[in-house]
């Protein structure tokens, strides 16, 4: 297991390295560079000045060279300054990361807390009225575009009934936990509604499959009751595929957070990356995207570990 983890960490690091080059390249393809921005801010700048500055900051070099320089500095711990915020990149990213992780963790746990029982109950009575209702709700959730849903939530709960804030974030010092929670309700609801349907469907399908197996008949034949049959014998087997799909879904949730955070003006990673790209804040966008990549890789690694714990047939040597 230790060796497996070490191997996967090396693998993840390689993916991250590759991604850093790809993202750096894409950033390089974006129109304009920092010097163009300086020109637009200062009309007195001459083209000689621009050439001089490009040479000074190494922007006249080919992209591979610039990437190598950036990488050397990044590995040394210098990720550069954010142009928009005039602060070191990490000082800007960490609070945003905290906000996003809080939003994602709450949404993810809430989604699973709803999806697992619903999926299990639906699977116990497939094609019953309850099952059809759950499926209908799940498909509605899957089909709703998250940006549209977000707008509807704002119109209904913030504008019409004025119950909840339409965006932003509360601070603990001002209004306490409840005040902070009020700001989270709509973004969390938005993310949960768009992800819970898929989770429910996966759980239901995996449980139906598990409940059809011979070992379920064996469990019943030895006198196990329905709760034990479902929760002990079927659920653990059903969780094996569900964990995989849900972990891959974690990356999707992250990109869903980008839309949700932007619409609800919630200061998280998604909004930060969006603002960084729109504002040509190269350093911030680059590192922000790498953080997102890292989170997805960590999600996959956790799924592998969970997988091995659930299924004894899988052994990582």
Partner 1 sequence: MTAAAPAPSPDPAEPVLRVAGLDVSFAIDGGSAKAVDGVGFQLTRGRTLALVGESGCGKSLTALAVLGLVPRPGRIGAGSVRYHGRELTSLDDRALRGIRGNAIAMVFQEPMTSLNPVYTVGDQIAEAYRLHFSASAREARAEAVSMLDHVGIADAQNRARAYPHQLSGGMRQRAMIAMALVCRPDVLIADEPTTALDVTIQGQILDLILAMQKENGMAVLFISHDLGVVSEVADDVAVMYAGTIVEQTPAASLFAAPRHPYTRGLIETLPGTTPPGGRLPAIPGVVPDFRRRPKGCRFSDRCSLADGHCRDASPPPAVSGGAVSCWKADAP
Binding segment (CB under 8 A) for partner 1, from list 94-102, 105-113, 233-241, 294-302 = 233-241
Residues touching partner 1, count (CB under 8 A): 20
Binding segment (CB under 8 A) for partner 1, from list 37-45, 101-109, 224-232, 289-297 = 224-232
The least distance separating partner 1 from the CB of residue 232, rounded to whole angstroms, comes to: 8
Residue 223 binds to partner 1 (criterion: CB under 8 A): yes
The least distance separating partner 1 from the CB of residue 221, rounded to whole angstroms, comes to: 4
Residue 43 binds to partner 1 (criterion: CB under 8 A): no
Residue 182 binds to partner 1 (criterion: CB under 8 A): no
Residue 312 binds to partner 1 (criterion: CB under 8 A): yes
- Tokens 């603002």, residue located: 275
Residue 158 binds to partner 1 (criterion: CB under 8 A): no
What's the full length of the chain, in residues? Answer: 317
By beta-carbon proximity to partner 1, the closer residue of 101 and 310 is 310
The least distance separating partner 1 from the CB of residue 306, rounded to whole angstroms, comes to: 13
Residue 224 binds to partner 1 (criterion: CB under 8 A): yes
Q: For the stretch 290-315, what's the b/e string if a residue is b when 16 or more beta carbons lie within 10 angstroms of its beta carbon?
A: bbbbebbbebbbebbbbbeebeeeee
Binding segment (CB under 8 A) for partner 1, from list 113-121, 178-186, 199-207, 218-226 = 218-226
Residue 213 binds to partner 1 (criterion: CB under 8 A): yes
Residue 313 binds to partner 1 (criterion: CB under 8 A): yes
Residue ranges binding partner 1 (CB under 8 A): 213-215, 217-226, 233, 236-237, 310-313
């Amino acid at each position: 297991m230790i060796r497996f983890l070490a191997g996967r960490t090396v693998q993840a690091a390689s993916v991250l390295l590759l991604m850093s080059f790809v993202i750096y390249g894409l950033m390089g393809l974006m129109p304009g560079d920092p010097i163009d921005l300086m020109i637009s801010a200062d009309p007195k700048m001459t083209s000689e000045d621009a050439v001089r500055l490009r040479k000074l900051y190494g922007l006249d070099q080919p992209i591979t060279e610039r990437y190598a320089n950036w990488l050397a500095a990044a590995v040394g711990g210098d990720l550069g300054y954010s142009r928009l915020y005039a602060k070191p990149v990490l000082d800007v990213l960490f609070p945003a990361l905290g906000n996003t992780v809080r939003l994602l963790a709450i949404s993810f746990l809430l989604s699973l807390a709803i999806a697992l029982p619903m999926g299990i109950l639906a699977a116990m009575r497939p094609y019953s009225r309850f099952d059809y209702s759950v499926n209908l709700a799940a498909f509605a959730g899957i089909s709703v575009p998250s940006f549209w849903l977000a707008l509807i939530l704002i119109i209904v709960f913030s504008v019409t009934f004025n119950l909840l804030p339409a965006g932003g974030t509360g601070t603990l010092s001002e209004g306490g936990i409840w005040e902070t929670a009020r700001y989270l309700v709509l973004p969390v609801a938005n993310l949960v509604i768009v992800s819970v349907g898929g989770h429910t469907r996966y759980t239901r399908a995996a449980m139906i499959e598990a409940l059809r197996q011979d070992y379920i008949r064996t469990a019943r034949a030895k006198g196990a009751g329905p709760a034990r049959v479902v929760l002990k014998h079927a659920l653990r087997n059903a969780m094996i595929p569900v964990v995989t799909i849900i972990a891959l879904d974690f990356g999707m949730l992250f990109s869903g957070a980008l839309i949700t955070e932007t619409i609800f003006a919630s200061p998280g990673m998604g909004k930060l990356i969006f603002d960084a790209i729109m504002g040509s804040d190269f350093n911030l966008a680059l590192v922000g995207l790498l953080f997102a990549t890292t989170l997805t890789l960590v999600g996959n690694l956790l799924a592998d570990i969970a997988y091995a714990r659930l299924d004894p047939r899988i052994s990582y040597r």
